Amino acid sequence: MLACTVDREPDPLTDEQIARLGAALRAHHERLESSLARGAAGTKPVDLDEPIGRLSRIDALAQREMNDAGRRTQQAELTQVKLALEAIEAGEYGVCRACDESIRFQRLQARPFSTVCIRCQSERERT
């Protein structure tokens, strides 16, 4: 496990903070699911036999690839949001999975599905 070296250990989240973050996670979950449902139409296969111009076909293929990449990103984020909601239910939310210290409320406000504190994340990015 990575150790966080901070001047002062962050305080554990309060029940009110967890409730606020949980509400934000549930709202984000709904937005992601709605977006994924709407975006399903943009991922239909491009009919290569359809008589549209060569550039139009290339544009359609590029657009489909961008839609697919966006959907993959949203699907991965949806998985992270679901895991964060499960952590709230299990009473494990807001604890760094690398060093077992509390994740600061400000970090979770910015990215409520974070699983590591900012110091451990910085350490991961350096390596």
Q: Structural domain boundaries of the chain?
A: 15-126
Please state, in angstroms and rounded to a whole number, the distance separating the CA atoms of residues 25 and 32: 10
Superfamily for the 15-126 domain: DksA, coiled-coil domain (1.20.120.910)
Q: Which residues contact 76 (CB under 8 A, 6 or more apart)?
A: none
Band of residue 51 on the pLDDT scale cut at 50, 70, 90: low
pLDDT (0 to 100) of residue 47: 57
pLDDT over 60 at 46, yes or no: no
Band of residue 7 on the pLDDT scale cut at 50, 70, 90: low
pTM, whole model, 2 decimals?
0.76
Radius of gyration of the chain (CA): 20
Q: How many CA atoms lie within 13 A of 111 on its CB side?
A: 10
